[in-house]
Amino acid sequence: MSNQTRPAAARHLRAAIAAIEAEFGPDYAAQNPHLVAALVQSATIEAAVATGYGAHQEALGLAQGLTSQICETLLRLKPKFFGG
């Protein structure tokens, strides 16, 4: 595990334990490590999906900007290509 992911994993672990114990009582998380692991995994997947979605939105915005620029350039060059 890299230094960059360790704090996120620790946050997910602390949050999972707190949520489980808030729902089921003290020491329930310690007695049910499989539940803790499942909740940490779920939180990690959710964070990864959110990160991927953000990157996708950013890439889409850049692609739209480039497409607009290309179309404008082609329209300006149209007379040179086809006469006019």
Specify the residue for token string 């909740």: 39
The count of domains in the chain is 1
Between the CA of residue 30 and those of 1, 41, 76, what are the distances in Å? Answer: 23, 17, 68
Specify the residue for token string 């149209």: 78
**Segments forming the whole domain that contains residue 17:** 5-82
Q: What SS3 state is found at 34?
A: helix
Confidence class for position 8, pLDDT limits 50, 70, 90: confident
pLDDT digits (tens, 9 = 90+) for 23-81: 999 999 999 999 999 999 999 999 889 889 889 999 999 999 999 999 999 999 988 88
